[in-house]
Structure 1
């Protein structure tokens, strides 16, 4: 056994192992972007193939497919940042006096809705001070996070470049990668390897077409519903609901419960009932939409 091992440990093998170790050290900081690029490439590849059937230039079709998929994501992120920045600037920078007046109104309404023996023992000034400090701290944390992201703009740009490059080359040469890996599989294990790959494909299709489409549908329904209920940022609330829907532990409930609590404190009891019923409808819709999409 020792003799056979020494026969395998030759200078070319040692050189390959050394280069492989160096490659892992270089790639490991951006490995997450490469893996994400491979997953996104699997989702974008059908669109790229359809465009290729029309244009006949593979590189151009891949580029167009990536652009068509990424543009909505960029617009969505820009919209979220613009809404949050606008609210924070208006509340904390541009119009702090108006914010204090609105906070006074909300606190007074909340106290007036309480029984007389309870409201008489509540100090409105203390509540206002605590809420103002809490909201200001949250705003400062968000602003600090945005500033930190801006300071990491170069690193983020490099990660995005690696992500786009990974998507492009995995779409273009993904079949070659698969054939390269398959060439190392022993003949007696090829059937098992094929079944495993097909199972992974089914899981990925279930994630993309079931999970993401469900979040998109729930987000659109939520945006329409919140707008009809009279919330000033109905579209934004729908977008956040769709994002929360992507997180398995959460779903849409944090949004509609928060809105219900705000309406309860402001004395809008009718809308409390309606928004909770609407929220329960969103949660139940998820139980139907996701299995219906994933099963196909």
Structure 2
């Protein structure tokens, strides 16, 4: 054992380990943006390569590809922020508040419980005010850290750019440290990681986009005040395995029932069933060509990711867990002989 330690833990190895630990401590605050940059680079890379065939400079094609990919995301965040403020203003207005109170009390009267509807409404109202207060304080603290937010965005943009431009060199650098006997395993892991990324993006994010678009069109045609916003929320909820579009259309169904709009209530319910059913066809059709990720892995990633990395965790969480599962799967197939 002592000879093994002397043979393998030489001074260069110990120096590399020490510098690696110190470097990790320094980059840890920015690690989530670096990881997110590597993930986004996987999306930007194909677009950049297509543009590069028509442009002379590779750096210019990468920047244009980043603009094409990132600007819609920024616009989506801005739109959600604007619509949330509009919805909050509409809910908190006196007329809307009175109508909401009447609707909630009417719904309570339908329930088979012997209690005071006014007392239940007061509890619901108090809970809602607490939630709104929490969201407002979180938003204020979020925008209050503008300097940190700017630095994170700068690190993210730089990470995406350099991972797109030098990703192959970075991968080759890591590969050079892999023993020859394990190069096959390393290449299998890299290929499997790419399949995981494709499966999650094509099978889950693209499915959410398609269902969100259907939701925007359907809710707008049915005459809902915030039809597009409801469709966007439907697409976002579609990303979460245990949710999907049902919280939106069931809420609209009960609102229409309470308000007496029975025809639209039935239509929106059937439309919601349509949104839920097409997921069973779109998702397998898009992801079946790549890795098959168990829904529990995605569920844990979506729920635990934000607790560790904040809002970025909704993307990083399921991807990291999916990649970890793939690496373990490659290991058992390569070294344990398990199929």
| Structure 1 residues 263 and 185: CA distance shift in structure 2, 3 A | same
Cα RMSD (Å): 2.6
Name the residue aligned to 1:141. 134
Alignment of 1:114-263 (within 5 A): 125-126=118-119, 128-263=121-256
1:76 Cα offset (Å): 0.5
Name the residue aligned to 1:33. 33
Report if aligned partners of 2:51, 2:61 keep a CA contact under 8 Å in 1.
yes
1:7 Cα offset (Å): 6.1
Kindly name which structure, 1 or 2, has the bigger radius of gyration based on alpha carbons. Answer: 1
Name the residue aligned to 2:275. 282
Report if aligned partners of 1:109, 1:267 keep a CA contact under 8 Å in 2.
no
1:5 Cα offset (Å): 3.8
1:190 Cα offset (Å): 2.4
List gaps (5 residues or longer) in structure 1.
none
Report if aligned partners of 1:110, 1:266 keep a CA contact under 8 Å in 2.
no
Name the residue aligned to 1:85. 85
Match of 1:101 among 98, 112, 117: 98
Report if aligned partners of 2:105, 2:118 keep a CA contact under 8 Å in 1.
no
Aligned partners of 1:79 and 1:31: how far apart in 2?
28
Aligned partners of 2:210 and 2:66: how far apart in 1?
22
| Structure 1 residues 189 and 128: CA distance shift in structure 2, 3 A | closer
List gaps (5 residues or longer) in structure 2.
290-339
TM-score by length of 2: 0.77
1:126 Cα offset (Å): 4.0
Cα offsets for 1:244-276 (capped at 9, x unmatched): 111122111111122122223323332222222
Aligned partners of 2:213 and 2:176: how far apart in 1?
46
Show structure 1 runs of 4+ deviating over 6 A.
none
Aligned partners of 2:145 and 2:26: how far apart in 1?
20
